[in-house]
């Protein structure tokens, strides 16, 4: 069900991004991001349809979650959990820490990250330009 992202997934991934985020990435921005050498992605697929994806960056002993989304029709079925577990498993060799930013109001994502041991260590005030919302900075340590 969990597999590496392929270039041909871009349209489907972007469509899920569009219906999931209050300030979704444009297709070109998504494509540019995914083309960066340190950026990796995985998708969770069922019946040939992508239900969720994670985009992250791995540099040395650190990783950063850049985007993690489950299609709105398939939430609360463990897909987000499997995507995050997949990153931690695949990247385990040499991995020491991880980071991410999450909207203060996004209790679903904070709940997921907390399950995996991420802890809040800071706050970026008015970080999100679409609504001026603060970001919580969360960190995972091995
Ligand atoms: C955050 C998100 C990825 C979670 O995906 P999901 O597939 O529904 O998550 P899971 O079913 O694996 O849930 C795992 C755990 O996360 C927490 N969680 C998930 N959704 C939650 C919610 N709505 N409220 C509270 N906790 C929630 C729970 O602890 C849950 O475990 P449980 O179901 O045993 O209680 C999904 O809500 C989403 O795509 N949101 C929009 C995009 C987004 O905000 N991404 C994060 C960007 S930082």
The domain that holds 44 is classified in CATH as: 3.40.630.30
Q: Can you tell me the distance from the alpha carbon of 103 to that of 32, in angstroms, rounded to the nearest whole number?
A: 23
pLDDT at 21: 86
Q: What is the pTM of this model?
A: 0.96
Tokens coding 80: 């987000």
Residue nearest to ligand 1 atom 42, measured at CA: 69
pLDDT at 23: 86
Residue nearest to ligand 1 atom 31, measured at CA: 112
Compute the distance from residue 93 Cα to the ligand 1 centre, in Å. 26
Count structural domains, the chain: 1
Report the nearest atom of ligand 1 relative to the CA of 70. Answer: 39
Report the nearest atom of ligand 1 relative to the CA of 76. Answer: 11
pLDDT at 22: 86
- 108: containing domain: 2-141
Question: pLDDT below 50 — which residues of the chain?
Answer: none
> 22 CB contacts (<8 Å, ≥6 apart)?
130, 131
pLDDT in tens, 17-54: 999 988 888 999 999 999 999 999 999 999 999 999 99
């Amino acid at each position: 069900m969990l597999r590496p992202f392929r270039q041909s997934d871009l349209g489907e991934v972007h469509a899920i991004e569009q219906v999931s985020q209050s300030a979704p990435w444009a297709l070109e921005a998504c494509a540019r991001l995914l083309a960066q050498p340190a950026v990796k992605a995985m998708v969770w697929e069922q019946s040939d349809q992508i239900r969720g994806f994670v985009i992250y960056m791995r540099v040395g002993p650190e990783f950063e979650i850049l985007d993690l989304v489950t299609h709105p029709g398939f939430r609360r079925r463990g897909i987000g959990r499997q995507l995050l577990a997949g990153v931690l498993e695949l990247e385990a060799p040499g991995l020491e820490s991880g980071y991410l930013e999450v909207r203060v109001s996004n209790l679903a994502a904070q709940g997921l990250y907390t399950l995996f041991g991420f802890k809040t260590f800071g706050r970026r005030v008015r970080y999100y330009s679409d609504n001026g919302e603060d970001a919580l900075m969360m960190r995972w340590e091995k």
